[in-house]
Structure 1
Amino acid sequence: MQLDLVGKRALVTGSSSGIGRMIALHLAAEGVEVIVHGRDAARTLRTAEEIRATGGVSSEVMGDLMDGDAAKAVVDQVLAQGGVDILVNNAGGRYGGWARSGWLGTSDENWIATYKQNVISTVTLIDGLVPVMIQRGWGRVVQIASAVALHQPPNFPDYQAAKAAEINLSRSLSRGMAGTGVTSNAISAGIIHTPGSDAEIAGIAQEAGLGTNWRDHEREIALKIFRQTAGRIGRAEDIAAAVCFLASPRADFISGINLVVDGGM
């Protein structure tokens, strides 16, 4: 399918590695000029150079989006380049890391900081960049949420709630932009293998008595442990493909949805 994305400009937050990096590469392959964002200068530059090495157009912008002033500086830099047609809010995570904790072990600090890391940073970018899209009469906003916002396992409650808020704000934003030509959608990602999640998946396999080389048992892990209907673990490419479609003119009639990409979990 021809997605008609050539000549569009996109900002993908958190695109120096992982899912964000793959989203940036896929959009660039569709002819999008991609602004790569990150906090680590070397990794951010590496992704941008990877795009340019394959004939794509890319630039870099740095900033810790949890810092309000830094987030606004990112907005100012993007606006100085003419703004964007596509905003992919991929940056996020859990404050303090991924050590397992239940409801009673999650501090107030974690609740507040995780919400800020996932939601407030997203709102800052929307407030700063969407008005230009509305003026032009066309734009796409895509939030990368998580399937844990829907399944609610008994871990990471602060992260689950923050991702649920992202889904909620994405739907509300779609109605707030009614008739403008700008759409807003969320993607809830399931278990996705990236270099950053490799150790966690290996640990889950080991706990299940399957050894540390989870790839030898990927189908069993997907179907029996993660209870998916797809017999493999997700890849960053799966999320990137969904983003490319929702970001394209082909998705003009889709707004306010939460697209669940979780292998049928």
Structure 2
Amino acid sequence: MPHEETTRQGIELSARQRVAWLRLIRSDNIGPVTFRELINHFGSAEKALDALPELSRRGGSLRSPRIATLAEAEGEIETAERFGARFVGIGEPDYPPALRHLDGAPPLIAMKGSASTATRPCVGIVGSRNASINGAKFAAMLARDCGRAGYTIASGLARGIDAAAHRASLATGTVAMLAGGLDRPYPQENFGLLQDIYDQGGATISEMPFGWEPRARDFPRRNRLISGVSLGVVIVEAAERSGSLITARLAGEAGRLVFAVPGSPLDARCEGTNRL
């Protein structure tokens, strides 16, 4: 059974480093893998930012890449602070330990809420938005039992299975991964649940900029965060083509445990889990 509190280890970024990291990851064509390669090569985000125009010219680009400005990065950090959130770097103590070991882990995440909840060992629970009554009940039962055993429950704040898992683990600790900015949660019907998560010591995490409205292609990235923070992921209900199966695939690729709850062969909501 995991300890109630996890000893968090790491090195805090300075304010200057945090701004430079945010500028680099918000610049054009810089994803997590490229970010890490640039930091390893140049030694710091500031030096990498200085080198980007020359690197672009060497690559044959006819125009310089858009580099996030100092004012933009400082403005986003100020927005986060007003919202009660902060940016956490991959080497810092408040960064979820399991996520740190994910290939292509986001170098910076925006986090609001309890870091101690977000850094405990996590179990992901996801499933159908159009959940059956029994599916929602079973997800809640799993979430309560895992929570009592000392695990934080991670999910995606979606309606259905996700919401049932979050609600059942409010008292023991839950963390919601968002597809948009932390200030743009989705769906609207779960705004009350989100406030309950904050009020009862939970947390939210996103890698997207503040003000970012979630689009369809952002949800697989959100699913990657769910599997990334989790030691194992439970799929409660999932149709044959479903975002929950993306989470299962990503968890498997990352070497995490994948659990599937069997369901009726006559229920389309169980086709994906039964196949798993």
Q: Do they superpose with TM above 0.5?
A: no
The alignment's TM-score, normalised by the length of structure 2, stands at 0.33
Task: Tell me: higher relative CO, structure 1 or 2? Use CA pairs within 8 A at least 6 residues apart.
Answer: 1
The alignment's TM-score, normalised by the length of structure 1, stands at 0.35
Task: Indicate the structure (1 or 2) with the bigger Cα radius of gyration.
Answer: 2
